[in-house]
Amino acid sequence: MLEDTQNITKQIREGNLKEFERVFKEFYPQLCLYALRFVKTKDLSEEIVQNLFCQIWENRKKLNIHTSIKAYLYRSTYHNALQVLRKMGSHNKYKEYIKHHFDENDSSTNKLEEKEINKIVQQTLSSLPQRCGTIFKMSRFEGLKYQEIAQKLSISIKTVEANMGKALKAFRHNLKDYMCFF
């Protein structure tokens, strides 16, 4: 089993997309169910696992697995899910603080923040490459699944995932000061 893992890791490190896709297809559904146990929403569990595979592919040249590929993926999913839960917990604490220390009826402040956020969203969308922006809009605004987007645009699911990863990274970076509102 360890020899298999070393061979798989070597192939992925060398950029073998077929091997990477095989691992993705084999483990993706199981990992989503595993992540679901922690985060309790299907969309968030899928996002955690998709981000994990994006990270693996982006950092494939440094990939070095000393256990089985299965153990590595499950452990990584577990840590990523905990990280998401920690972030959600701190955001919830911040929301509670705001709720107790500021007047909720101060709509002028809320409208100003909403305008600022909308401006940043529009700027981020316009700064994305065209296909990346289109994929993001189809996913987040039209509610399409990655498979549906891939079919409509005649591209692979991997391309959709990679572009969504880029878009989400850009939004997280540009909206980091406002994450507590989401």
Q: What span, in angstroms and rounded, lies between the C-alpha atoms of 34 and 32?
A: 5
pLDDT (mean) for 32-54: 92
Same domain, 48 and 60: yes
Task: Tell me the CATH number at 91.
Answer: 1.10.1740.10
pLDDT (mean) for 128-141: 91
Of 101, 131, 146, which residue is a domain's last? Answer: 101
- What is the per-residue pLDDT for 1? 46
- What is the per-residue pLDDT for 150? 94
Quote the Cα angle for 76-169-38, to 5°. Answer: 35
pLDDT (mean) for 11-36: 93
Share of the chain above pLDDT 70, in %: 82
Q: How confident is the model at residue 74 (pLDDT cuts 50, 70, 90)?
A: very high
Same domain, 76 and 118: no
Same domain, 97 and 108: no
Domain that holds residue 95: 1-101
- Please give the mean pLDDT across all residues of the chain: 83
- What is the per-residue pLDDT for 109? 47
Quote the Cα angle for 74-75-81, to 5°. Answer: 85
Number of domains in the chain: 2
Using the predicted structure, report yes or no on whether residue 77 has a pLDDT greater than 50.
yes
Same domain, 19 and 89: yes
- What is the per-residue pLDDT for 179? 57
Q: What span, in angstroms and rounded, lies between the C-alpha atoms of 63 and 73?
A: 12
Task: Tell me the CATH number at 121.
Answer: 1.10.10.10
Higher pLDDT, 41 or 91: 41
pLDDT digits (tens, 9 = 90+) for 151-169: 999 999 999 999 999 999 9
- What is the per-residue pLDDT for 38? 86
Same domain, 96 and 145: no
Of 83, 101, 119, which residue is a domain's last? Answer: 101
pLDDT digits (tens, 9 = 90+) for 91-134: 565 555 555 555 544 454 456 567 777 888 889 989 999 999 99
